Amino acid sequence: MKPALCLVAMGALVMDSSPQCTKQLLSERFGRGSRTVDLELELQIELLRETKRKYESVLQLGRALTAHLYSLLQTQHALGDAFADLSQKSPELQEEFGYNAETQKLLCKNGETLLGAVNFFVSSINTLVTKTMEDTLMTVKQYEAARLEYDAYRTDLEELSLGPRDAGMRGRLESAQATFQAHRDKYEKLRGDVAIKLKFLEENKIKVMHKQLLLFHNAVSAYFAGNQKQLEQTLQQFNIKLRPPGAEKPSWLEEQ
């Protein structure tokens, strides 16, 4: 049977509703209890949380950019159609309306390509934040819960060790020692798991962001330079396919 989630402490899910854990939690909150600290690991965890907040901000801005680009494309498309229609109905301005219609058509084509690149960028950041980072933080929460449990049963064992050594106390000490050891093993295992996940997360983040930042830079630079060929080459380089213009909004993106 899975243990009930009964307490929330310092962002950690506490899996143990025992009096020892409740006492440890309250002691720590009021600054009275002793707490096991792995300073290097905790600094890495705090850095991850800060990084996640910053990436969430980038993700939100990227989604806003996608929405604005899509809206701009719809306006340019409608404007191009209006110019083309007026070109047919205004012989004296046919040429002027005609080349403005062609310009809007070209802008739409380049905009669709840019939108595909930005969508790919946003999709990758979303995966990094909501799946990769979140998976590591779930392990962190388990580690933090195990740390609280470990300190709770360590304190309990220390207090029992200071008591009288009669026959009944020896049995309680042996039981407390076994419980403490089990929680110590759990804590140390999860501490190792967190360290490994943090290491692999950092390596993966650098790999993903190196690719995505290069894509974003090349696509935006080519778009504002009016370089259609470079825009198309950028999408080919990153294996991005565009949806047909009739596809559902807001994404023109289709990954291979």
pLDDT tens per residue across span 138-150: 999 999 999 989 8
Indicate the pLDDT class of residue 76, thresholds 50, 70 and 90.
very high
- Count Cβ neighbours within 10 Å for each residue of 86-123 and write b for 16 or more, e otherwise: bbeeeeeeeeebbebbeebbebbbbbbbbbbbbbbbbb
Structural domain boundaries enclosing 134: 37-233
- Using CA atoms, how far apart are residues 218 and 214, in angstroms rounded to an integer? 6
Whether 124 is in a domain gets the answer yes
* Residue at 79 is within a domain: yes
What pLDDT score was predicted for residue 16? 64
Q: Would 5 be classed as within a structural domain?
A: no
Q: How much of the chain, in percent, has pLDDT values that exceed 90? A: 62
Residue 208 pLDDT class (50, 70, 90 cuts) = very high
pLDDT above 90 for 79: yes
Question: For residue 207, is it within any domain?
Answer: yes
Cα separation, 55 vs 62, whole angstroms: 10
- What was the pLDDT predicted at 186? 95
pLDDT of residue 214: 95
Phi, then psi, of 235 in degrees rounded to 5: -65, -40
For 14-67, what is each residue's pLDDT tens digit?
Answer: 456 677 777 777 776 767 777 788 899 999 999 999 999 999 999 999 999 999
Residue 7 lies in a domain: no
| Within a domain: 238 | no
Position 15 scores a pLDDT of 52
The model's confidence at residue 5, banded by pLDDT at 50, 70 and 90, is very low
CA dihedral 178→180→186→190, nearest 10 degrees, is -160
Q: What is the pLDDT of residue 56?
A: 98
Confidence of residue 244 (pLDDT cuts 50, 70, 90): low
Is the pLDDT at 98 greater than 90, yes or no? Answer: yes
Please check whether residue 9 lies inside any domain of the structure: no
CATH code, domain carrying 124: 1.20.1270.60
Q: At 172, is the pLDDT very low, low, confident or very high (cuts 50, 70, 90)?
A: confident
Q: What is the pLDDT of residue 77?
A: 95
The answer to whether residue 246 is domain-embedded is no
In the chain, the amino acid numbered 237 is Q
Closest CA to 82 of 99, 95, 101, 96: 101
Domain count for the chain, please give it.
Answer: 1
As a whole-number percent, the residues of the chain with pLDDT over 70 amount to 84
pLDDT at residue 203 above 90?
Answer: yes
